[in-house]
């Protein structure tokens, strides 16, 4: 399998210390991607080496988070990691673009928490992201909502040049989730160099967006580099 490294984090799984494994490869080319070095591949590593990393961390972590890239590209390896983590009584979380709804079904039995990047309104994926996968994302959200055992977070990175407040309002009406997060765009190390000149939205701007959609989605938070995570 191919990965982009691993870290210990206190923020990737709310309320828990987690080992985060970044799996390489992704079928998308989002213009604001900040992990572009993982898009086509990463470091070759065996599953046994991954299991050792989990074992070595198990005494001081509560959870294993698998992020990317898009982890569902390497489905068999992802399932193995999640199964192994569950055997150790660790909580599990997956970050996904929801590109593969049918593959997603296969990992749900081994998940406690799922974070889906709802990047744009469903009908704008082709226009803004360059890949017409709105129906796949919508299907994935519905699949997860049918499983009462999984906590679903949907999240959107607010990029001022690509999204408007109307887009965030539209997303809020289209999704159903336990938590919706509006993430602050950062213009460093982005795939599309044209976005390097786009200013990051301020925390106050994100708060205004969050308050506007709060009546639609009950639990909303923002995530900024200045203040971290804030529930609205």
Mean pLDDT of the chain: 96
The 10s digit of each residue's pLDDT in 109-124 is: 999 999 999 999 999 9
Q: Which candidate, 5, 76, 80, places its Cα nearest to that of 44? A: 5
pLDDT at residue 94 in the model? 98
Find the mean pLDDT for residues 94-122.
98
Domain regions of the chain by residue span: 2-231
Pairing of strands 179-184, 151-158: parallel
Mean pLDDT of all residues in 145-152: 96
Given a cut of 90, is residue 148 above it in pLDDT? yes
Give residue-wise pLDDT tens across range 21-34.
999 999 999 999 98
| pTM for the model | 0.96
Return the percent helix, strand and coil in the chain, to nearest 5: 40, 25, 35
Does residue 74 register a pLDDT over 90? yes
Contact at 8 Å (CB) between 141 and 116?
yes
Domain 2-231 CATH assignment equals 3.20.20.70: yes
pLDDT for the residue numbered 36: 82
Query: Is the separation of the CB atoms in 213 and 220 below 8 Å?
Result: yes
In this predicted structure, what is the pLDDT of residue 37? Answer: 85
Contact 225, 186 (CB under 8 A): yes
Q: Quick check: helix, strand or coil at residue 179?
A: strand
Q: List helix spans (H) across the chain.
A: 47-57, 75-87, 101-107, 134-145, 165-174, 203-213
For residue 13, name the pLDDT band (cuts at 50, 70, 90): very high
- Tens of pLDDT, residue by residue over 26-62, are 999 999 998 888 899 899 999 999 999 999 999 999 9
How high is the pLDDT of residue 180?
Answer: 98
With a pLDDT cut of 70, the percent of the chain lying above it is: 100
Query: Are 104 and 150 spatial neighbours (Cβ–Cβ below 8 Å)?
Result: no
User: How many C-beta atoms surround the C-beta of residue 207 within 10 A?
Assistant: 17
Provide the β-strand partners of residue 2: 44
- Mean pLDDT within 94-118: 98
pLDDT of residue 189: 87
Question: Two tokens at 124?
Answer: 């704008």
Give the model's pLDDT for residue 35.
84
């Amino acid at each position: 399998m191919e990965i982009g490294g691993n870290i210990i984090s206190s923020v990737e799984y709310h309320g828990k210390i987690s080992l985060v494994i970044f799996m390489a490869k992704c079928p998308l080319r989002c213009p604001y991607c900040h992990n572009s070095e993982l898009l086509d591949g990463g470091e070759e590593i065996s599953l046994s080496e991954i299991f050792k990393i989990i074992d070595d961390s198990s005494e001081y972590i509560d959870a294993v988070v698998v992020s990317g890239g898009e982890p569902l590209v390497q489905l068999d390896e992802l399932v193995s990691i999640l199964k192994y983590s569950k055997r150790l009584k660790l909580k599990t979380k997956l970050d996904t673009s929801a590109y593969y709804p049918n593959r997603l079904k296969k990992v749900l039995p081994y998940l406690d928490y799922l974070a889906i990047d709802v990047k744009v309104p469903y009908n704008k994926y082709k226009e803004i992201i360059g890949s017409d996968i709105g129906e796949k994302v919508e299907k994935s959200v519905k699949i997860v909502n049918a499983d009462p055992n999984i906590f679903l977070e949907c999240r959107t990175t607010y990029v001022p040049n690509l999204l408007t407040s109307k887009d965030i309002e539209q997303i809020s009406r289209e999704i159903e989730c336990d938590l919706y997060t509006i993430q602050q765009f950062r213009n460093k190390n982005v795939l599309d160099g044209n976005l390097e000149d786009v200013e990051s939205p301020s925390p106050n701007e994100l708060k205004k967006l969050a308050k506007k959609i709060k009546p639609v989605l009950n639990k909303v938070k923002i995530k900024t580099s200045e203040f971290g995570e804030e529930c609205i």
